[in-house]
Each structure stands twice: as C-alpha cells, then as structure tokens.
Amino acid sequence: MDTEIRKNKELFEEMPVPKAVMTMAVPTIVAQLIILIYNMADTFFIGRANDPYMVAGASLILPIFNVTIAVANIAGVGGGTLVARLLGRSQGEDARRVASFSLRFSALGGLLFAFLTAVFMTPLLRLLGASDETFAYARQYAFCVIVIGAAPTVLGMTMGNLLRNIGCARQAGFGVSMGGVINIVLDPLFMFVLLPRGHEILGAGIATALSNILICLYFFIVIARLKSPVVTLALRVPMPKAEQLRSFFAVGLPAASGPFLFDLDYIVIDRLMASYSDTALAAIGIVLKVERLPLNAGIGLCLGMVPLCAYNYAAGDLRRMDDILRFTRRTGLMIALVSIVLYELFAPDFVRLFLNDAGTVAYGAQFLRIRAPATAVMFLCFIYVHFFQAVGHGGKALLLVLLRWAVVNIPMLFLLNALLGMPGVVWSQLVSDSLVALISLLYYLRFRRKTVL
C-alpha cells in the first residue's frame, strides 16, 4: 500500500468520527473565516480612498473573478472528490492520474481565461457596465487580478482542494489562511505607501495578485516536500480513464455553477431593496456580510466532511459515512444556533461595526433579526449539496443547487416583495430555504434508502 494511503488510513477509516471530522474541518473553517475577513478588508481599504468610482470599478470585476472560481471548482471539487473515492477503493494509481489531470486542467484553464480576458478586456468591461469614470479603474484591477492572477489563483485553489482530499487539511488550510493574511497586509502597503495617490485600485490589484501567486508557490513547495504518490508535480502522468473523466466533469461542472447563482441572488436582493431607499440598501448589504460568519464556518465544516464521506462511501463503509454526515450536521446546526442567539441579542452592535448611522442601524438590526433563523436552514441546504458532490452524484448536487437558487429563492424574492413589500425581501430567505432544506433532506433519505450494499 502506498505510503500516503497508509499514513491517512487511520484518519479515514479508524479515527473516531468527531475527531476525524474536526481534524479535517478546523483548518478549513479557520481558512474560510480568514477569507471572509480578507474580503471585507479589501472593500474596506479600497473605500479608504474615498473614491466611489474605485469601489465601483473593483465591484465590476466580481463576475469575471467568479469564472476563475468556477474553473477551480471544476478541477478542485470534481477532481478532489474523485481522488478521495478512488483512495477509498484502494486505487492509488488511478487517484494519481486524476490528481495530475486536475492540476493540468486548472493551469491551462487559468492561462486560457487570462489570455481571453486580456484580448477582450474592453468589450467585456463595457458589457459589465463600466462607465467612462470606472473603466480605467476596472481595467487596472482586472489586469492584476485576472490577467496576471487567474492561473495562480485557479491552480492554488485546486492544489488546496486536492491536498484536503488526501487528508492534508492542515497544509491546505494554512495555505489559504496565509494568502488571506498576506493580502490584508499588502493591501495598505501597496495602496497607501508604495504607489502614489490616485493609484489605490492598482495597489489593491497588485496585492491580490501577489498573494495568490504566493499561495500557489506555497502549495508547490508543500507538494514537492510531501512526496505524495497521489498528488504530484510530475508531468508525465497518464491521463485518467474515460469513466473517470466523466465523473470528474459530472461533479465539477455542477460545482462551478454555484458562485454565479449565489451572486445572482444577491444582485436581486440589492436591486429590490434599492427600490425602497438607500438606507435600506446599505442595511441589507451589511446584514449580508454579517451573516457570512456562521455560513463560512459551515462551509468550512462541510469541506472537511467531504473527503471523509467520499472515501468511506467508495470503501463501502456506509455506517461510518452516515456517522460523519450526522456529526457534521449536528455541529453545523450548533454553530448556527449560537449565531442566531448572538444576532438576536446584539443585532444593532453588529451593524454598528460597519456603519454607525441611526437609520441604517435601525434597519440593519431589524433585517438581521429576521434573517438570523435562516442561518440554520441555509446550512442544511448546502450540506446535502456537498454530500452529493462527495459521493460522486453531481447531477443530484446540481439539481439541489438549481432548486435552491433558480426555482425557489429568486422567485420567492419577487413573490414576497410583491405581497409584503420590503419586509418580504428580508423574510424570503427563511421561507425559501426552509422549503429547500426539507426537500434536500427528503432527497437524501430517498438516495440513502436506495444505497444498500
């Protein structure tokens, strides 16, 4: 048996479930929380330039950047979960082929997207709504983050996913956390110290690109020193088999759709709320950021669960797989319940962390208290999506994603807005995700009844 498989055998097969899940999940949760802080800090630092056109220019790049996340999800989620399942079947050489293909796919995909962005930069930015005032800022930011940074960003995310799926969650979590911390440090350095005034957006772009390059280099070093027989930098590794490629894309492509639908939901919320008042829009924007804290922790928990469920499903140990899912679900709901209590008790204080305006705080506290209970059902929605990705049922995962965003959540926003006005926009998340969580649970139970070895 390969050295790496022997090393992780206890983690995947023998370690008590709570310890195994937390061993995988804690580094990933920390990384997710640092990513959240970094995303807030990036906006914060750009905002310190007191130029709304800079903020708008950076915001325009989000849909383009989401394409890099989509490519990384195809390779990292599609390839990573398949690697874990192949290891569960003791097919180490096949896992090596899939891991190598994932790295090559992500590198080539990132380079191709960077090239296309560079060639079609002007019409792309105009299509996204760049005005004469925001175009130069958007172009500077896109050149750094996409043209220079797309390939290392995609490759770094893919390597992190692959490392996590062979049991190296600590190294994967540290790399992502390190990148977030470096970005937070480099942002003010490039924006306000090294570059002249008026080039703050360029400084933010350089800081982001450089941090992603350093993450990529870190993972290269980790993989080289790890000398894993599965995740390797060797170039002459045969292609995966045809059925493995089908499984790769069957899970990866649905995973790529998530970021776009997530953003579409937020865009609809913002547009509906903007029709009432700027204060209400500012308040819901703050609430959407605040509620990410428990949700990012829940995502980290699910990402830690995925390799364990994938491995044991493929190994035929369905009892351990069920125990892993139950423990993850219970822990995630506990995190959600604690956050609900804190949000209900201290809602105004959370809003004041971002803006101490009386009207915004009043709206924000009201909105946060309404949306807080949705934290629990939101977690239930995406734990089952992650589970189906883990066991290789990408079609089921895609169905739940489309059901949640395209079929229920977004139509519910328009329906409750028409019926209840502004409160309906806020209540829609709890109503729609409660329905989707119930459907997801029933869908899982149906799958589980049919899955008997």
Owning domain of residue 308: 272-450
Identity (one letter) of the amino acid at 390? A
Whether residue 292 is found in the same domain as residue 437: yes
Residues 216 and 321 grouped into a single domain: no
Q: Clarify whether residues 398 and 305 are in a common domain.
A: yes
In DSSP notation, 281-296 reads HHHHHHHHHHTHHHHH
pLDDT score at 127: 82
Q: How large is the average pLDDT for residues 150-156?
A: 93
- The answer to whether residue 266 is domain-embedded is no
Burial label for 449, CB within 10 Å (0-12, 13-18, 19+), is exposed
Contacts of 434 by beta carbon, 8 Å cutoff, 6+ apart = 374, 377
Lowest pLDDT segment from 45-49, 360-364, 414-418: 45-49
What DSSP state is assigned to residue 174? Answer: H
Give the pLDDT of residue 272: 86
State the amino acid at position 88 in one-letter form.
G
453 pLDDT more than 70: no
d(CA 34, CA 207): 16
pLDDT at 6: 60
For residues 207 and 349, state if they share a domain. no
**Domain identity same for 71 and 216:** yes
Residues 428-446 pLDDT 10s: 999 999 999 999 999 999 9
- Assess whether 303 and 433 both reside in one domain: yes
User: What is the Cβ-side half-sphere exposure of residue 26, based on CA atoms within 13 angstroms?
Assistant: 6
More confident residue, 161 or 451: 161
Do 97 and 185 lie in one domain? The reply is: yes
The count of other CB atoms within 10 Å of the CB of residue 424 is 18
Residue 261 falls within a domain, yes or no? no
Mean pLDDT of 204-224: 93
Cβ 304 vs Cβ 80: under 8 Å: no
Same domain, 391 and 308: yes
Give domain status of residue 249, yes or no: no
Tell me whether residue 24 is exposed, middle or buried, using C-beta atoms within 10 angstroms of its C-beta: 0 to 12, 13 to 18, 19 or more: buried
285-323 pLDDT tens trace: 788 888 888 988 999 999 999 999 999 999 999 999 999
229 and 358 belong to one structural domain: no
Closest CA to 245 of 72, 74, 5: 74
For the chain, what is the domain count? 2
Pick the residue with more confidence: 270 or 6?
A: 270
**CA nearest to 78, candidates 8, 165, 179:** 165
Residue 203 inside a domain? The answer is yes
User: 291: number of CA atoms within 13 Å, CB side?
Assistant: 27
First and final C-alpha spacing in the chain = 25
Least trusted range by pLDDT, from 60-69, 75-84, 401-410: 60-69
Q: Does residue 253 form part of some domain?
A: no
Torsion on CA atoms 44, 45, 50, 52, rounded to nearest 10: -70
What is the predicted pLDDT for the residue at 2? Answer: 47
Q: Over the stretch 69-122, which tens digit does the pLDDT of each residue have? A: 888 989 989 999 999 999 989 898 999 999 999 999 999 999 999 999 999 999
In a domain, 42, yes or no: yes
Write the single-letter amino acid at 388.
Answer: F
Same domain flag for 230 and 315: no
Q: Is there a domain that residue 348 lies in?
A: yes
Q: Are residues 295 and 356 in the same domain?
A: yes
Separation CA 25–CA 11 (nearest Å): 12
Q: What is the residue-averaged pLDDT of the chain?
A: 88
Q: Are residues 428 and 304 in the same domain?
A: yes
Distance (Å, whole) CA 434 – CA 371: 12
Domain boundary among 240, 261, 296: 240
The answer to whether the CB of 204 falls within 8 A of the CB of 187 is: yes
Residue of 101, 110, 105, 109 whose CA lies nearest to 231 = 101
Average pLDDT rounded to a whole number, residues 166-190: 89
Whole-number pLDDT of residue 47: 66
Residue that finishes a domain, picked among 200, 216, 240: 240
